[in-house]
Amino acid sequence: MRRSPSFLPRSFLYVPGNKPELFAKAAAGEADAVILDLEDAVPLDRREEARAAVRTWLLGDAERRAASSDSGPVRQQAARQQQWVRLAPESLAADLRAIAEPGLDGIFLAKCSRAVLRDAAAIVAGLEAEGRLAPGRIQIIGLIEDAASLLDIEALAASGTLTTLAIGEVDLMADLRMARGASTEPALDSIRTSIVIACAAAGLSAPVAPTSTAIRDLDAFEASARKLHDLGFRSRTAVHPSQVPVINRAFTPNTAAVAAAREVLVGFDGGGGGVTVDASGRMIDAAVIRSARETVSRASEF
């Protein structure tokens, strides 16, 4: 079983795998993690070229990290930034064998199903046995992108292989024949909530929220990010660098929230760890304490 980390990156920025000229620019930005894309963003006839570019970048990761300690803030950002790759199910073995380098932190499995997940886990285990990957290091996030996988989310979450789930909402809506608009938003929220529930029930990290291709209206993007946070997501993918600071802001507890959480924890400790009330008369029980601890921990992490 792969151990899920306490917190995943807040922001994942997609970068086409066949555009290596963008890799360093993404590393110099504010994203907590970059997803080097070997799936939809790359034409089929350029997949091999993209694999080579991604592999070269991941090979250079150790050198960039070593150089970060005595370089400027850009290098320091690159040192803490995680490197992920999105893989296509039809080229899973070729993709994984090409990118199995120390700089790889995790993979997004496009169109995740039990069969795709089983194949990915077997390939990763083989690469670990060969010594090409450190045992248990690679995190796996499954993208729910069709109706069949949506119906199977409980089994996927309980597989013992995934770090968490994410939603490829554009593909999923197309498969469901859903239009995007105010009338379908409640149905989408129901789908999103079902994924949050499946991850929580299986003890996985909080799921990764769907991206938005509307890159010009950042106010609307921020409103949707805060809504997704309140639904139980703790990360989100971005398709444009301008979305990254919005995601980081929406998924990081603000000063007021942290202060309130700390007050709750102090009151709980002062009450001897039993049920008590805060200054406003709200009852403080175990559920409130869990939420307060998460808020303080996330603030410290990010």
pLDDT reported for residue 294: 84
CA distances from 157 to 27, 172, 201, 207 (A): 30, 18, 8, 10
Q: Which fold has domain 11-252?
A: TIM Barrel (3.20.20)
pLDDT reported for residue 75: 40
pLDDT reported for residue 278: 64
Indicate left, alpha or beta for 285 from its phi (over 0: left) and psi (-120 to 50: alpha).
beta
Per residue of the chain (302 residues), what is the pLDDT tens digit? 444 556 899 999 999 999 999 999 999 999 999 999 999 889 888 999 999 999 999 998 756 666 654 455 444 444 469 999 999 999 999 999 999 998 999 999 999 999 999 999 999 999 999 999 999 999 999 999 999 999 999 999 999 999 999 999 999 999 999 999 999 999 999 999 999 999 999 999 999 999 998 888 999 999 999 999 999 999 999 999 999 999 999 999 988 888 887 888 887 766 565 566 666 667 777 778 888 888 888 888 88
First-to-last C-alpha distance (Å) of the chain: 27
Domain boundaries, the chain: 11-252, 254-302
Instruction: Please state the pTM of the whole predicted model.
Output: 0.88
